[in-house]
Amino acid sequence: MRGSALGVRVCVAASMATKVVVVGGSGFVGSAVCKAAVERGATVVSVTRSGEPAAKQVVDSDWAAHVTWRKGDALKASEWPEEYLEGAAGVVSCVGGFGSHDHMRKICGEANVRVFEEAKARGVARAVFISAHDYGPPLRDLLKGYFDGKDTAERSLFQLFPSGTGTAVRPGMVHGTRYVGSAVPIPLSMVGKPLEVLLGNPLVKSIVQGSVFPSVLQRLLVPAASASKVAKASIDALMSPIPPEFDDGSVEERVVDVWEILRS
């Protein structure tokens, strides 16, 4: 291995590295996943509708030079060239978005289902889905299409990638610096970092999840997590050995919740 100026570790022999395909890799969370995969020594391919990234946090980063950027629509994954998924050990789907309920069901649900179906058809062994913590009502009702889509995608993931080969990563709020367009920063950590520190405190967690708080508040009061921690948890789930509890079938669905994300 060797390091870049930012300490990014890359494989000297790329052909020997594990190939990871990140769908939606130029987005806020997706770019963090690409970075985490590069640092883990993987050969990384990003597939997005735009192909080449435009966001400042990607373009100005040394690790981005170690990612192969490809253009492809997740809803039309069956039309992707063979080379996109060929030889991939795993795929991480970061596809999602907001809008009307129908739009969110399509982007958060159908698009990810198409990715998982095509990955399975082409012999990819492992898959990770960036899902979401279920806050319950009233937020779930306000964003019904979003959570319905996530649920649909998770069902497909676990059906196609059983026994721990498929993992749903469920963060709450994801913070970091997000860019609108190519260069307008939104410092989400100004809100997210305090929520991570406060609600992620073990003492606060035990109080919130105790009998004093009603269940509706327990589901709402979960800590935020940085995009880098979500990314690391995702790549760990994809590239590390499958936990032994899946061997005997006692556990069927592999989920990384917000608390496990914070331990990454």
Where are the chain's structural domains? 2-188+226-262
pLDDT at 249 over 80: no
Is 89 within 8 Å of 127 (Cβ atoms)? no
Q: Rounded mean pLDDT of 31-58?
A: 89
Other CB atoms within a 10 A radius of the CB of residue 134 amount to 14
Tokens representing residue 161 in the block: 């990638």
Q: Rounded mean pLDDT of 135-148?
A: 94
Q: What is the CATH number of domain 2-188+226-262?
A: 3.40.50.720
Q: Which residue has the higher pLDDT, 5 or 25?
A: 25
pLDDT of residue 87: 96
Q: Which of 76-85, 94-103, 180-189 has the lowest mean pLDDT?
A: 180-189
Is 60 within 8 Å of 79 (Cβ atoms)? no
pLDDT of residue 117: 98
pLDDT of residue 14: 37
pLDDT of residue 12: 33
pLDDT of residue 185: 77
Helix 111-121 with 144-160: angle, nearest 10 deg: 10
Q: Which of 82-91, 118-127, 208-217 has the lowest mean pLDDT?
A: 208-217
Q: Rounded mean pLDDT of 122-128?
A: 97
